Structure 1
Amino acid sequence: MKYVDEYRDAKQARAWAQRILRLVTRPWQIMEICGGQTHAILRFGIDRLLPDQIRLIHGPGCPVCVTPVELIDKAIAIASRPEVIFCSFGDMLRVPGSAMDLLGAKARGGDVRVVYSPMDAVALAQRHLDREVVFFAVGFETTAPANAMAAAHAARLGLRNFSLLVAHVLVPPAIRAILDSPDCRVQGFLAAGHVCTVMGTDQYEPIAHRYDVPIVVTGFEPLDLLQGIAQCIEQLEAGRAEVAIQYRRSVRPEGNVGARRLMDQVFQPVERKWRGMGLIPASGLGLRPEYSQLDAERRFDVGHLTA
C-alpha cells in the first residue's frame, strides 16, 4: 500500500536503528507527544530496537486520554436528557466519568450515537428539528477545523437545535507545562505530525529556543518514528535545539492556512484541565462569543459540574 508499506520496511528499520546506535554517546530521554505515536512504538517494537541509552517517555497521550472527568460528566448529563441526540466519535464512549461512561448513559436510555464527522451531526439536526443535537467536539488541533466548519455551517443554516460540547486541547501549552515542571527530565520531543499538518511549526520555535530542546515532527509509521528519533539524537549530540520536520510528506512550516483561518474564526484559546496534568492556561479551545449560541455547556447549564 503506497505511503504505508514503504514506511514499514523491516530492513530499513534495522538500518535506522543501527544509525541511531552509532549516533548515541550518552543517555537521552525523549518524549513522544501523541498516543498514536506511542501506539506505533509499542505495536512495532520500536522501543526494543533502540539502544539502552535512549529512553522514550510516553507523553500526555491522545485527546481522548486527557479529557478530564468533569467534561465526561457534562457529556453524560447532556446525553441523558430525553430531548437530546448526543453525537460522538466512537473512541469517547468508553472514557470513564465519575460514575459511568457514555455507553452507560446509552444503556440507561440516552440517545447516544456514533458519527464519523461533525457534519453528520449537523445533518441529524436538520432531520430532527424537534430534538436537540449535540456534538462532542474532542481533539487536538487536528480535528478543530472540521468542528469549526460544522459550527460555521450550522450558524449559516440558522439551526437552533445544534450545539457543540467543546473539549479541544492544544499541544504547545502542554509541552510548556511539562518543561516548566521542576521534575522534568525530557530532553527532546517528537511532535505529532497530524497536529502540525494543520498548525505548522511556528508555535514550536519559541519553545525549542526558550527551553533548549529539539522538537522533531514525525509521522506515525515505524520509519517515521525511527527517523524522527535519529534527527532528535543528532541535535542532542550536537548541542542544537531546533524544530525539524521529518513528516515532510504531510507537514509544511505554515501548516494548512485555510484550516487555521477557519479555526480562528470559530474558536478562541481558553484554559483547559487535562486528565493527569491539571489546569493549563490557554491550552484549550472554546467557542468565540459570536458562536456562543452553539455552546452546549451553556445551553444545558452543565458548567457547574465538577469531578
Structure 2
Amino acid sequence: MTDETQRSSAFEFDRLREEIADSFDEELELSLDEETLDELSSAEPGSGFDRRLYFRELFRLQRELVRLQDWIQAKGLKVVVLFEGRDSAGKGGAIKRITQRLNPRVCRVVALPAPSPRERSQWYFQRYVAHLPSAGEMVLFDRSWYNRAGVERVMGFCSEDEVEEFFRSVPDFERMLVRSGIVLIKYWFSITDAEQQFRFSMRINDPLKRWKLSPMDVESRRRWEDYTRAKESMLERTHIPEARWWLIEANDKKRARLNCIAHLLSQIPYAEVEQEAVTLPPRVHHADYVRHPVPPELYVPETY
C-alpha cells in the first residue's frame, strides 16, 4: 500500500468517525449544561479541545437565542429565516440547534410537503403566506418558496415560463414582506460535490438515517450540475438589498451551525428583557381529600 493510499484511507476513517460522533453528540446536546462541559472528552487524544469548544460555544449561543426569543416576544417582532441548500447540506441540523432550547410557541419550523393539486392551482406564494409570523414570532422555513428555483425547476415539476414568472415576482414579494415589518433572512448552505457524496453514502449505510434519503435525493445526486446552474441563477436574480442572501460554508457541520447561529444573532439587535420573578405559591391541602388507588392495569409495564 502506497503512502498516498494510506493517507487516503486514514482520512476516510477519520471522516467516518467524525460523522458517527456527530450523531451521538446530537443527543448529548439536549442534556448539556455548564457543569458537564469540562467533563467532555474525545475518544482520540488531541481532538478533545475542539469538541469541547463546539459544545461550549453552542451552549453560549443558545443562551443568546433565548435572550433573542424574549426580545422578539416582548417587542412584537416578526422574523422569517429561510434555510436553503442541497440535500444533506446540514439545514435541518442547524435548525435543530437553533430551536433546541426555544419556546415552540415563539419559534416554529415550517417544512411543507409537496403541494396538493389544490395548492398547485393557487397563487404560487399562497401556501407560504399562511405560515408567516404574527407579532412576537420567529418562523424558520426548512426550504421555502425557493423550491421553484431549485428542485421544481431541476426535476421538471414546473415550466420555464413559471420559473421566469417566479424570478419576476419574488423580489417584489420579499420587498412587500419587509415593508410590512417582517425581518427576512435568507441562508444558503453550501457543500462540495465530494461532501454530498460522503453524506449520502453514510445515510445509505445507516439504518437509523436511511429514511432521510428519498428517491428525489438520489436523483438530485445525479443532477449535481443542473442544481449548480439553478443555484447560480437563483442567487443572481434574487439577491436584493432588501433581502440579500447569506452563504454558509457547510462542509464542516459543527462550524456551520455555530456560524449560522452567531450570524443570525447579529442580524437582529436585541437586549435583555427584564423578567418578573417567579415564586411558587404554597400547595393547598384539604383535610377531607383522600387519594384513591390507581388500578394496576392502567400502568405501563416496567420493562426497564
Give TM-score, length-normalised by structure 2: 0.36
* Bigger helix fraction: 2
Q: Which structure has the larger Rg?
A: 2
* Bigger strand fraction: 1
